[in-house]
Amino acid sequence: MLAKLALLMVFQLIGEAVVTTLGVTFPGPLCGMILLLGYLFATGGPSRELSAVATILIDHLGLLFVPAGTAIVAYGALFASDGLAVMLALLVSTTVAIHLNGIIVERVSLFSRRETERVPG
C-alpha cells in the first residue's frame, strides 16, 4: 500500500518537474494526474492496491480543505471587501468545471461503448 502511495507521489513530482522544466503556467499536480491517467490506460487500469489507496485518500478528502477554511478566517478583511467578486469567480469556475467534466465523461463513455461494440466477443 505504501508503494502505491509513493507511485501517486512520484507522478505528482514528475508533473511538477515537467511544468517547471517547460516553464508553463499549469498546475504540476494536475500534469501529474494526466500522466497517471496515461499510465493507467497503458497498464489496463488501477490495481487493487492502487484502488485501495485512492479510496482511503478520497475518504479523507475533507482533511485537505482545512487549509482553505483557515485561509477564510485569516483573510476575513479581504473577503469582506472583495467577497462578492471571489464568490462570483468561484461560482463561474465551478459551473464551467462541472460542465466540462460532464462533456468529457460523456465523450469518454461514448468512445468506450464504441470500442466495446467493435470488439468481437
Q: pLDDT confidence of 42, banded at 50, 70, 90?
A: very high
Q: pLDDT confidence of 101, banded at 50, 70, 90?
A: very high
Cell numbers of 69, please? Answer: 477554511
Report the distance separating Cα 17 and Cα 29, nearest Å: 10
pTM: 0.55
57-66, 76-85, 97-106: the lowest-pLDDT one: 57-66
The more confidently predicted of residues 64 and 2 is 2
The more confidently predicted of residues 81 and 115 is 81
Phi first, then psi, for residue 109 (nearest 5°) are -65, -45
